[in-house]
């Protein structure tokens, strides 16, 4: 049953049997109404009591809301809203790389937050979910009461370069063949894990499934190229606005990190320095730490909600 009378909101399509068993959560589609992405669908999980404190869970590259299922299981007293970014999961899939930008992704999520009238939200973000979520915060500052960052980066580097992964994504022709033709990196997520067995078998297949068609695979390459390669990169202005919002955020914050993450493991230090009031949970997980330490993330969300006056643990 839909939660609101919004005509642009409707039930999500069914999933294959194995995925249904892995993701037994309420899911919906929302058709965007504004901006250049009007008419495209956002798929999202909306699980929990409508009046409960809200956790907005944002994934990054190249995953989808499936990433948050174990964390959601640890938040039975919260309303968990976990959208798929455009280009990922069951959301609409723009095929042009130029259709992906920090601002367009943030505009889409902000529209969903406004449409669902989510208030006093705890932002929970990993990978690109961090800067995109902070950009949503800059648009809707009165909607957010707490922040949990998990292996992400909301700070613009002084000398942007990106990792080997991001530099490889900029190699002409070859990167396009590997990302689109071979389904990289969604077919190799286990490489970035502390426990490589944490993404295998049916779980690995669940991450590959939404991008099984070659024509739908622009998103992973586009988001890899959204990472700044220089101070003149087109993502920089939006990232600086997002950083300004989160640096000025005065609500409770937590950092939950997988230090065995080969991409962002070392980013914890600069985030601890930037946010000295944040609680810090260090783990031996990898990049997709939701698969390895979901209980630690859920505990941090509950604690931030408690400190924000939203709920008791």
- Cα separation values, 129 from 18, 82, 198, 293, 313, Å: 26, 11, 21, 18, 25
Residue matched to tokens 């590997």: 178
Residue matched to tokens 């069951």: 90
81's enclosing H/E stretch is strand 79-83
Nearest to 42 by CA among 17, 65, 19, 22: 65
Nearest to 251 by CA among 128, 137, 83, 102: 137
Identify any residues that bridge with 28 across adjacent strands, giving them in sequence order: 11, 44
147 φ, ψ (degrees, to nearest 5): -140, 135
- Alpha-carbon distance 195 to 220, whole Å? 23
- Alpha-carbon distance 122 to 150, whole Å? 13
- Cα separation values, 120 from 56, 116, 235, 246, Å: 10, 13, 28, 15
Alpha-carbon dihedral of residues 38, 39, 45, 50, nearest 10 degrees?
70
Q: Cite the active site residues.
A: 127, 261, 287
- Alpha-carbon distance 220 to 183, whole Å? 9
Nearest to 50 by CA among 77, 24, 32, 71: 77
- Alpha-carbon distance 285 to 196, whole Å? 10
Q: Helix, strand or coil for residue 116?
A: coil
Q: What are the structure tokens assigned to 24, written together? A: 């037994």
């Amino acid at each position: 049953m839909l939660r609101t009378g919004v005509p642009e909101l409707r039930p999500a399509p069914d999933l294959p049997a194995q995925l249904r068993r892995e993701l037994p959560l309420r899911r919906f589609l929302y058709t965007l109404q504004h901006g250049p992405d009007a008419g495209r669908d956002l798929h999202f999980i909306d699980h929990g009591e409508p009046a409960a404190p809200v956790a907005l869970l944002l994934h990054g590259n190249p995953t989808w809301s499936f990433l948050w299922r174990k964390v959601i299981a640890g938040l039975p007293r919260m309303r968990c809203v976990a959208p798929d970014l455009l280009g990922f999961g069951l959301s609409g899939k723009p095929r042009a790389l130029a259709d992906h930008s920090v601002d367009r992704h943030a505009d889409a999520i902000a529209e969903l937050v406004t449409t669902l009238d989510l208030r006093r939200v705890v932002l929970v973000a990993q990978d690109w979910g961090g800067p995109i979520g902070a950009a949503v915060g800059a648009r809707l500052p009165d909607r957010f009461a707490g922040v949990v960052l998990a292996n992400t980066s909301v700070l613009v580097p002084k000398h942007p370069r990106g990792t080997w992964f991001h530099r490889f994504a900029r190699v002409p022709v070859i990167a396009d063949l590997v990302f689109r033709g071979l389904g990289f990196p969604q077919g190799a997520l286990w490489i970035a894990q502390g426990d490589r067995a944490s993404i295998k078998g049916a779980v690995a297949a669940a991450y590959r499934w939404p991008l099984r068609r070659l024509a739908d695979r622009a998103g992973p390459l586009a988001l890899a190229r959204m990472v700044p390669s220089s101070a003149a990169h087109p993502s920089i202005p939006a990232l600086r606005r997002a950083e300004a919002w989160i640096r000025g955020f005065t609500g409770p914050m937590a950092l939950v990190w997988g230090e065995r993450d080969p991409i962002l493991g070392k980013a914890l230090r600069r985030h601890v320095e930037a946010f000295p009031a944040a609680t810090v949970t260090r783990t031996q997980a990898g990049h997709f730490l939701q698969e390895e330490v979901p209980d630690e993330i859920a505990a941090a969300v509950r604690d931030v909600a408690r400190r924000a006056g939203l709920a008791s643990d």
